Amino acid sequence: MRVRTFLGNLVGQNVVSAAVALVATGEEIEIEEAVGEAPAGIATRFDFASVTKPVVATLALVLDAEGSLPLATPIGDVWPEAHARLARRPLADLLRNRSGLAAWTPLYHRCGNLDAAAELIVRGGKDGDLVGARAGTYSDLGFILYGRTAERRLGVPLMALLRERVLGPLGMDGVEGTPGERPDLAASRMGTGQEVRLAAKQGLTIPDLGPPPLGRPQDGNARFLNKIGETCGHAGLFGGARDLWRLGAEWLAPGRLLKPEGVAAALAGGGRFALGWWRRSLRGSAGRALSPSSFGFTGFAGDSFWIDPLGPKGGRIFVLLGSRIDPFMDINRWRRRFHSAASARGRIR
């Protein structure tokens, strides 16, 4: 009931137009609720936005374990043309946000196609404007480059790699790359006004692209880089809450797809980021209701996905999918409230 009330407030206060919440252990779904505009239901699929990143990181662990793309591989081994500051970095740094790549740039404004975008990133931009970011800079560009690296090394599109190595084995049957118009997809009302502001800080003037057509990503770069059926490393996947539950269950208790030692290495260390994940912080999207060992990710389009390995019954998974309305609203406080509403440890704040 607390989660249902929370979702009603989330939609009623125009934070999102539709939402689905799921709370589960690795073996059992405890709570599933959906509210909002049709087709809002338990099986409704949403734009994952940056929640695509932990799916790609899962692929990275698989490719590393099988030896086809070790995470220790220097970027320059795959991209001889790489900027000197990037060339010596291991691929793992792209997924831990410590490669030195800039956070973002409007590739759809600066490049003509996908190949030109990859070249811009790997060469460090124009006159090095995309390299030299301080350590720990959250970087879409790093995940885009990892996705292109996997494609270049293995000679297979990223979406095909994800289907074969991650989505199929874990039963994440609802996940697609840029699916196009489908009746079970939640629509996005949000344009790219935040990207307009970010571009202005780089001295670039770009238009607001407006809300995307149904089944296309909200993210401007993902719209540009992805054709129907495709994804790139930072955004482009669509799916449902149960799909993320299956992914979370594997990270809670690896063995079906991932190796326990690989997961332990990915989550080891300090700082804000693990490999493919954010670490819990009190003022971020996780909040006090989750343990300090928790890890997760959020998507700008409105999603939140957190895993608490110290939760009851061997750990807990929290999924909140939503179609965000206002790009300038800080919705992390709503995500923290969700964890409080869904957790026995939490108090709704």
Q: What is the pLDDT of residue 344?
A: 59
Q: Say how far apart CA 93 and CA 72 lie, in whole Å.
A: 9
Q: What is the pLDDT of residue 347?
A: 39
* Residues 138 and 87 sit within 8 Å (Cβ to Cβ): no
* Residues 25 and 8 sit within 8 Å (Cβ to Cβ): no
In order of 46, 171, 236, 306, 316, the CA distances from 28 in angstroms are: 22, 15, 28, 16, 10
In order along its 349 residues, the chain shows pLDDT tens digits of 699 999 999 999 999 999 999 999 999 999 999 999 988 899 999 999 999 999 999 999 999 999 999 999 999 999 999 999 999 999 999 999 999 999 999 999 999 999 999 999 999 999 999 999 998 999 999 999 999 999 999 999 999 999 999 999 999 999 999 999 999 999 999 999 999 999 999 999 999 999 999 999 999 999 999 999 999 999 999 999 999 999 999 999 999 999 999 999 999 999 999 999 999 999 899 999 999 999 999 999 999 999 999 998 899 999 999 999 999 999 999 999 999 999 854 333 3
Q: What is the pLDDT of residue 346?
A: 39
Cis peptide before 39 (omega within 30 of 0): yes
Q: What is the pLDDT of residue 38?
A: 87
Q: What is the pLDDT of residue 9?
A: 97
Q: What is the pLDDT of residue 135?
A: 83
